[in-house]
Amino acid sequence: MATLKDISTELGLSVATVSRALNGFPEVGARTRARVQEAATRLGYRPNRSAQRLATGRSGVVGMIVKLRADMSADQTFFDVLTTLTAELAARDLDLVLSVDQGNDPVAPYERMLERDLLDGFVLNAPVPNDPRPGFLRARGVPFVMHGQAHAAPDYAFFGIDNRAVCADAVELLASLGHARIALINGEARFAFAEDREQGFRAAMAVEGLAVPDGFVAGGAPTESTGYTQALAWLSGRAGPRPTAILCATTPVAQGVLRAARDLGLSMPGDLSVIAHDDALPGIRPAHFNPALTVTHAPLRDACAPLAQMLVDHLNGAPPARLQTVNRAGLIVRASTGPVPKGEERPWQTP
Amino acid sequence: MATLKDISTELGLSVATVSRALNGFPEVGARTRARVQEAATRLGYRPNRSAQRLATGRSGVVGMIVKLRADMSADQTFFDVLTTLTAELAARDLDLVLSVDQGNDPVAPYERMLERDLLDGFVLNAPVPNDPRPGFLRARGVPFVMHGQAHAAPDYAFFGIDNRAVCADAVELLASLGHARIALINGEARFAFAEDREQGFRAAMAVEGLAVPDGFVAGGAPTESTGYTQALAWLSGRAGPRPTAILCATTPVAQGVLRAARDLGLSMPGDLSVIAHDDALPGIRPAHFNPALTVTHAPLRDACAPLAQMLVDHLNGAPPARLQTVNRAGLIVRASTGPVPKGEERPWQTP
DNA sequence: CTGAAAGCGCTTACAG
DNA sequence: CTGAAAGCGCTTACAG
């Protein structure tokens, strides 16, 4: 394995200059830098991470703690994010180490991991409302970035999407099609994103002058069977009014809703409109659902590169409150949404 | 952060002696070692991994490459193994870095990872028959351990279970209950474990003097829907003979089989016996299935500690051919297996 | 724009 | 049984 010294003797330069040239220091002359780079590739130089880390005082390791849940495997999102995030961090010379937690204390596993490993920082996932982790880590001076947003005006680094707008956009579309009885199958209530979406849903309904009957906001694991069970309950009409449109937290949930509607002989979008938020998970093609699914669209893995870069910037001294991005999901209208059935129009459109 | 030097000045010893005491070198006196250990805990000493790695010439990082498959998320095994393995490696001061591969070349991603990262070794998962990876890595002198077994008499380190015995034990149990028409829903044919199980199945059937009709060995993703669909095809009787017993590759597959049997109004084990291999995944309780499921039982995650230890031993110079373990799955008989239905007995038991 | 030198925190022959 | 010393391969003030 070639070292800086190999390059420096090869070129008759000092290791200091070689190091500076390779690390893009501005004071190095253009010709010198070119010679160094040529020699580095020719000799197959790769920096020794351990030496870099020892010299800079960084460990090059960031942690992520995963809460073990029974339905973990049903949650396709975790794997997608994990693998993309690993790659994005690796591209920035950071290793991601995982730790699995089974307990109820939200911060104890972070404490343990800090005691056990030398860490440069954390990636926080699955934020909950008023998440205690940011306060805990800040008190200890440990850098972190959050995937999602757990507080109204965070002073920490995070990347998320506008979850209120996700539901508001969906409601607006459906209301413009005349729908009045719109129901929501949300994510699990304990997560911050689900709270935001419910607020966005209720606010948008209010703006449209539409009521949200009791029971029209449900929640659950983001699975096909959640969608099937809930849709069957609503659409069979046994329990109060039937929605003419259903918003789904994920595309698997929508798959369940579509199956329930088909089982009941409903046509879509004739009898029922369906819309879902689409995380763009690998292997799921909402455009090929039957009918093709209207979605709000925001690939989960698009968060990974920004998160990795924010963490690097944070480690390099950027103030975390500057490292905040909120993306807006796109709206893709397909065949699963259409005009409200005759006779079911929103109040002021009925005669 | 306390360093070796802090301890040495504290005790008036040299850093060399402190290092030896902490690393368990035999030549250190018992009293000295005790004093060093006391001071280390008192000062909260934790070794600097980067310095250790630089001094020893090891990176402390091992790689694992994950093939991205569309049905990945349906495969509950990956997450279970990943998290346990990470923990077991961390306990031995090794970081696991993941790389996701989407291509078809089985060794190219290893080549790329070796070029990009300084790695001490690899963990190989999902072995296929005649897997080319061991040969590739050995030619490059890269240490590795395999989870599973891809060759008949491997000269490399691996941990697996006796997959032939898994099916043989199941067949033996069913044959002893009088079953003659036994079918197998195997794992995906491309994996080595599935090949081994099919061989074990056919060999055991031959030993019992039982025929395996065409179509009685099926395979597929380890999901509930695989089990449901296949069982429905067999049990509806539309396609040739009906099995009186079904072996399932996993417990989710068995769930599908049980559902199909219930949908057809079959009683279990009266009309149908079901047995599965149980990887003991979190959140799945075959003892609580209806009926309680008879299984061969071998927790997948039990492989992780041995794999981590083998890799460490290998890195420390142990000959890999000595680092081989094959566990035998246990047999747990519950309510889903019983005597063959009257009139369906194996040939020499019929009048 | 470049170099000589110190230092990051360990490990490990070599001596005694 | 213990210590002095060199070395792992980088980075980065400090000088010029």
pLDDT in tens, B292-344: 999 999 999 999 999 999 999 999 889 999 999 999 999 999 999 999 998 87
Asked if B73's CB is within 8 angstroms of A118's CB, the reply is no
Asked if A99's CB is within 8 angstroms of B68's CB, the reply is no
> Is the per-residue pLDDT at B13 higher than 70?
yes
CATH of segment(s) B163-299+331-349: 3.40.50.2300
Find and give the residue nearest to C2, measured CA to C1'. Answer: A17
Would the CA dihedral through B73, A216, A128, A153 be positive or negative? positive
Listed as ranges, the nucleotides of chain D within 7 A of a protein C-beta are 1-5, 7-13
The string of DSSP codes covering B70-117 is TTGGG-HHHHHHHHHHHHHHHTTT-EEEEEEE-SS-SSHHHHHHHHHS
**Closest in A50, A90, A99 to B50, CB measured:** A50
B26 CA: nearest nucleotide by C1': D1
pLDDT in tens, B223-253: 899 999 999 999 998 778 899 999 999 999 9
Q: What angle do CA A74, A84, A47 make, to 5 degrees?
A: 145
CA of B27 to C1' of C16 (A): 15
pLDDT in tens, A282-318: 878 999 999 999 999 999 999 999 999 999 999 988 9
For chain B, how far is it from start to end, CA to CA, in angstroms?
82
CA of A257 to C1' of C8 (A): 59
Mean pLDDT for B24-49 is 92
CA of A91 to C1' of D7 (A): 30
Q: How far is CA B59 from CA B91, B147, B281, in A?
A: 16, 22, 32
Mean of the per-residue pLDDT values for chain A?
A: 91
- CA dist., res. B294 & res. B276, Å (int): 7
Find and give the residue nearest to C5, measured CA to C1'. Answer: A16
Is the CB atom of residue B35 positioned under 7 angstroms from any atom of strand D?
no
- CA dist., res. A112 & res. B218, Å (int): 46
Burial class (CB in 10 A: 0-12, 13-18, 19+), B1: exposed
- CA dist., res. A24 & res. A298, Å (int): 35
| Residue in A closest to B46 by C-alpha | A116
**Closest in B49, B66, B79 to A72, CB measured:** B79
Residue B176 is classified by DSSP as H
Give domain limits for chain B.
4-47, 61-161+301-328, 163-299+331-349
| Residue in A closest to B53 by C-alpha | A50
Nearby residues of B279 by Cβ (< 8 Å), 6 or more positions away: B77, B80, B250, B251, B298, B299, B300
Burial class (CB in 10 A: 0-12, 13-18, 19+), B311: buried
Mean pLDDT for A266-272 is 96
Asked if A54's CB is within 8 angstroms of B48's CB, the reply is yes
- CA dist., res. A243 & res. A234, Å (int): 7
- CA dist., res. B79 & res. B281, Å (int): 10
CATH of segment(s) A61-161+301-329: 3.40.50.2300
Residue B242 is classified by DSSP as P
pLDDT score, position B91: 87
pLDDT category at B90 given cuts 50, 70, 90 is confident
Q: How far is CA B38 from CA A220, B292, B327, B329, in A?
A: 51, 53, 40, 44
Decide if A61-161+301-329 and A163-299+331-349 have a common fold: yes
Asked if B59's CB is within 8 angstroms of A54's CB, the reply is no
Give domain B4-47's CATH architecture. Orthogonal Bundle (1.10)
**Closest in A76, A87, A95 to B61, CB measured:** A95
Pick the closest to residue A264 from A239, A293, A234 (CA basis).
A234
> Is the per-residue pLDDT at A87 higher than 80?
yes
CA of B15 to C1' of D5 (A): 12
Q: Which residues of A touch B79 (CB under 8 A)?
A: 72-73, 78-79
Pick among 3.40.50.261, 3.40.1190.20, 3.40.50.2300, 3.40.630.10: CATH of B61-161+301-328: 3.40.50.2300
